[in-house]
Structure 1
Amino acid sequence: MLDQLWAPRAWLPGGWRERVLLDIGRDGRWSAVTPNVDAPPGAHVAAGPLLPSLVDAHSHAFQRAFAGLAEVREGTSADDFWSWRERMYAVAQRITPAQLRAVAAQLCVELLRGGYTQVCEFHYLQHDADGRPYADDPLAMAWTLADAASDAGLGLTLLPALYERAGFRQPALRPEQRRFRLDAAGVWAAARRIESAGRPLLGAGLAIHSLRAAAPESLAALRDLSEGFEGPIHIHVAEQAAEVQDCKAALGERPIQWLYDQGLLDARWQLVHATHATRKEIAAVDACEAGVVLCPTTEANLGDGLPDLEGWLAAGVSLSLGSDSQVSRDALEELRWLEYGQRLHLRRRNVAAAPGLQQPSTAARLFDAMVAGGARAAGEPSWGLTPGARADALVVDGDADALAGVPPARLLDALVFASPARPWRDVLVAGRWAIQDGRHAQGAGIAGRFHSAMEALWNEA
């Protein structure tokens, strides 16, 4: 593990600073960050400008096996989230623990290359193919995901998910959902076991798949069980317009408003997607200090719709990014799509910029928001190049063609909006290099196991 890292330039809170020395404690966290100093003897000198990494705040790892394989419309009916979901279930029904580890490890390497060093895994693939808990350990699939993240050297927040019914008026799961079943007591027990495992770079939170998949009394039970719990609580909410209408018909209110009126929301909660939120609901989320996880490439891929980004930013709600269905594993692409969706919808440029708040750079405002929001989503006390945060960082490849001739002050703008290829030369996680000179030490072996798993999965299809 490194003791000291020195960078010619680094993105600290407030923007670029020159000649920055970062000290790393034995706990793998930054112990001091000092700008305007020369590199001391023995310090590792970064090969380019240094940026904070980002947290991938919403992931379904098994869906990496399905990414890019649902882009053909079958028959004459319209294709939407609900038809995509039926095809996704086919993968969920047959993937084995060994195949999941291979797929998830490959995903983790790709996330590192894409600028993420921590992933929040929204975990609902619990049981064997028959829907029964694994005999040796009911958490077999959870440990498989933890092993995969460890293989790659990526931090992981595991979020076992409450999932008990197929819809608001369907009290049981459908056969193709049998692997997902977990009640409130099971979620709480799983999170406690994961948290107490003592594995490096592994933490735990709680998840509720959605209001349609969990009865109100089960949410109340999980709230009671988790009283005093300080970790994050994630839920899919208001992703599709049809879900909002179904919720109104079943519960009498829109989903976000219902959660707020039930007194469930607080600063631990992360609302995943929240695509169809009203300004009243945005104000409610702000009032209870909950956060929102946006997944732009997945929301675009599934045709979900566009979030009210201006509303969330204006309210000051904590925001983070997620790779979700894994159609992209690149943090910069998520940032691009987040802004570009707004530009296409509103027919304006630099929608997220706020000159009146001394934040004229769209890239800087979004990037800083995601750094801060990612910490909350992952249950981390802080994030970024600041004392106390985990010693994670991205080293920019200064020789990348896309950055040639870019003035130093505009580097972040060019990275977000004019760099189609991955620009990271090195990636640091907890003071150790996970990627060096664009290479992952275990990448070849992980890729080989991934190819074998994909061949077995799709030859069986």
Structure 2
Amino acid sequence: MSYWASHAWLGAHVEPGVLLDVTEGRISAVRVGVGTPPRGATVLRGLTLPGLANTHSHAFHRALRATVQVGSGTFWTWRETMYQAASRLTPDTYYDLARAVYAEMALAGITAVGEFHYLHHAPGGAPYDNPNAMGEALIAAAAEAGIRITLLDTAYLAAGFGQPPNPSQLRFSDTTADAWAERASLLKDSDHALIGAAVHSVRAVPAAQLGTVAAWAEERRAPLHVHLSEQTAENDACQAAHGRTPTRLLADHGVLGPRTTGIHNTHLTDEDIELLGSSGTGTCMCPTTERDLADGIGPAAALQGAGSPLSLGSDSHAVIDLFEEARAMELDERLRTHIRGHWTAGALLRAASADGHAALGRPDAGVLEPGASADFTTIALDTVRTAGPAPRLGAETAVFAASAADVRHTVVAGRHLVRDGRHTLIEDVPAALASAVAALHR
């Protein structure tokens, strides 16, 4: 099987006429300077990029889109609306919603998602007969939508420092980290799904139990993610309870390291930045959510300079558009510093692809090279947003002008998942989304 790209970004520059040979779901050869498509090759007109990685997702938050834009408030008032949506989900309705959300991601050029999953049990906290019914619904939904998933099964044990879960949080909690580990251990990797771990936050996992989650991930050499310093209130509460920042608390309990990714990393001290960078802990920025929730602008440039790899996520799915996330990271930094050009377009695309896949435990994805997973996406270069610039400026066009609406093709493991802007497995994605969301608002 071969795909001929009229133009492809190969990591350093854009090449015209690139032939990608695919064997058993992997790129077996990359040939440049192929002026016309060979017979039998599938033609991808536009700019072909490595498949995008959505490093941080809460699939059920998609049901909040527009609903939470009514009126004003804070992160904490937004959270109450989120709890209401969570209370209505069952394994079946979660499958329906996630299947549609993951299909929306495929249409946006995303080939792998990191699902930060903490909605484990039935309302009231009682386990389902299958204790992983909700997580397995997400894994099945990703398979039906055709994308890869890293299920980041999340320990969420407390409402705050020294506080038991509130009624809305009971279905999130396994009571102890040991009980969480026992349940999470029943989940297994598959061809399209990897199992990782997450600490919801330092306020939601007691300090004495952080090491249990970290050890579980270390034993499996699995990704470990954590919401970190998203809110100043979290920092203040951690200082009051432990006399240190959340980052220092995580470091003291063995949570930081190269397989760990901090989500948001917004309100950090200089020491926090050094701890994250020197340990190789990654940073996932979610700019569209961070601005939607009025969280603030995190020190992404300083973190990367200290040694923290950057990735991107759509988090609450205010929009699902990794080009917008990449663009926003640069433009937010410009607003904060009054200086332009903190990252090249290529560096931002790497955050949206290779570095995101690495954060999800897939270091063999996110590049158009022999041996890599055959996961790639193509944006049109002839829309009202992308027409005009020379194709050699394709990386700049993708980051600073394109949107998810410009995606024309998405290929996962060599399978042509999105063809000419249409999902090949789910005929009507908007209708599937509308139906799944409506079911949660009845």
TM-score, normalised by the number of residues in structure 1: 0.90
For each residue in 1:196-240, what CA deviation from the matched residue of structure 2 results, as whole angstroms up to 9, or x when unmatched? 4x3x31111011101100012211222334443211001101001
For each residue in 1:144-180, what CA deviation from the matched residue of structure 2 results, as whole angstroms up to 9, or x when unmatched? 111211121111110111011100131x110011110
Q: 1:402 to 1:208 in 2, by over 3 A?
A: same
Structure-2 separation of matches of 1:221 and 1:309: 29
Structure-2 separation of matches of 1:368 and 1:453: 33
Structure 1 unmatched runs, 5+:
354-361
Structure-2 separation of matches of 1:258 and 1:213: 13
Structure-1 separation of matches of 2:14 and 2:428: 37
Amino acid at match of 1:382: D
Match of 2:288 in 1: 297
Q: How far does residue 449 in structure 1 lie from its aligned partner after superposition?
A: 4.2
Structure-2 separation of matches of 1:280 and 1:299: 22
Structure-2 separation of matches of 1:231 and 1:421: 30
Match of 2:356 in 1: 374
For each residue in 1:95-127, what CA deviation from the matched residue of structure 2 results, as whole angstroms up to 9, or x when unmatched? 222221121111111111222110000000011
For each residue in 1:335-380, what CA deviation from the matched residue of structure 2 results, as whole angstroms up to 9, or x when unmatched? 1221221222222322x23xxxxxxxx3222112332321221100
> Which stretch of structure 1 is more off in the superposition, 137-146 or 36-45?
36-45
Match of 2:88 in 1: 94
Answer yes or no: is 1:5 the counterpart of 2:9. Answer: no
1:185-334 superposed matches below 5 A: 185-196=178-189, 198=190, 200-334=191-325
Match of 2:26 in 1: 29
Structure-1 separation of matches of 2:96 and 2:430: 8
**Aligned counterpart in structure 1 of residue 147 of structure 2, from 150, 154, 168:** 154
Answer yes or no: is 1:410 the counterpart of 2:393. Answer: yes
Answer yes or no: is 1:108 the counterpart of 2:102. Answer: yes
Match of 1:173 in 2: 165
Match of 1:451 in 2: 434
**Aligned counterpart in structure 2 of residue 138 of structure 1, from 124, 131, 144:** 131
Preserved contact between residue 109 and residue 378 of structure 2 (Cα < 8 Å): no
Match of 1:358 in 2: none
Structure-2 separation of matches of 1:315 and 1:25: 39
Preserved contact between residue 150 and residue 194 of structure 2 (Cα < 8 Å): yes
Structure-2 separation of matches of 1:270 and 1:220: 16
Preserved contact between residue 89 and residue 176 of structure 1 (Cα < 8 Å): yes
Preserved contact between residue 49 and residue 395 of structure 1 (Cα < 8 Å): yes
Preserved contact between residue 18 and residue 30 of structure 2 (Cα < 8 Å): yes
Q: 1:73 to 1:45 in 2, by over 3 A?
A: closer
Match of 1:439 in 2: 422
Amino acid at match of 1:42: G
TM-score, normalised by the number of residues in structure 2: 0.94
Structure-1 separation of matches of 2:183 and 2:145: 23
Match of 2:78 in 1: 84
Structure-2 separation of matches of 1:236 and 1:90: 21
Structure-2 separation of matches of 1:320 and 1:395: 20
Amino acid at match of 1:180: F
Structure-1 separation of matches of 2:378 and 2:275: 39
Structure-1 separation of matches of 2:349 and 2:304: 12
SS at match of 1:381: coil
Answer yes or no: is 1:69 the counterpart of 2:62. Answer: no
For each residue in 1:33-75, what CA deviation from the matched residue of structure 2 results, as whole angstroms up to 9, or x when unmatched? 232345544332322221112110000001111122112236x
Answer yes or no: is 1:184 the counterpart of 2:177. Answer: yes
Q: 1:268 to 1:451 in 2, by over 3 A?
A: same
Structure 2 unmatched runs, 5+:
none
SS at match of 2:188: helix
SS at match of 1:435: strand
Q: How far does residue 323 in structure 1 lie from its aligned partner after superposition?
A: 0.8
Q: How far does residue 190 in structure 1 lie from its aligned partner after superposition?
A: 4.2
Q: How far does residue 312 in structure 1 lie from its aligned partner after superposition?
A: 1.9
Q: 1:163 to 1:411 in 2, by over 3 A?
A: same
**Aligned counterpart in structure 2 of residue 425 of structure 1, from 402, 408, 423:** 408
Match of 1:339 in 2: 330
Q: 1:13 to 1:413 in 2, by over 3 A?
A: closer
Kindly report the root-mean-square deviation, in angstroms, between the aligned alpha carbons of the 2 structures. Answer: 1.9
Determine what percentage of the aligned residue pairs are the same residue: 39
Structure-2 separation of matches of 1:181 and 1:263: 22
Preserved contact between residue 423 and residue 429 of structure 2 (Cα < 8 Å): no
Q: 1:103 to 1:285 in 2, by over 3 A?
A: same
Preserved contact between residue 277 and residue 304 of structure 2 (Cα < 8 Å): no
Matched residues, number: 439
Match of 1:51 in 2: 49
Structure-1 separation of matches of 2:179 and 2:412: 31
Q: How far does residue 22 in structure 1 lie from its aligned partner after superposition?
A: 1.7
SS at match of 1:145: helix
Q: How far does residue 389 in structure 1 lie from its aligned partner after superposition?
A: 2.1
Structure-2 separation of matches of 1:245 and 1:156: 34
Preserved contact between residue 238 and residue 273 of structure 1 (Cα < 8 Å): yes
Structure-2 separation of matches of 1:37 and 1:50: 15
Structure-2 separation of matches of 1:81 and 1:403: 35
SS at match of 2:201: coil
Structure-2 separation of matches of 1:32 and 1:185: 46
Preserved contact between residue 276 and residue 303 of structure 2 (Cα < 8 Å): no
Preserved contact between residue 208 and residue 236 of structure 1 (Cα < 8 Å): yes
SS at match of 2:85: helix
Structure-2 separation of matches of 1:190 and 1:30: 36
SS at match of 1:400: coil
Match of 2:377 in 1: 394
Structure-1 separation of matches of 2:240 and 2:144: 46
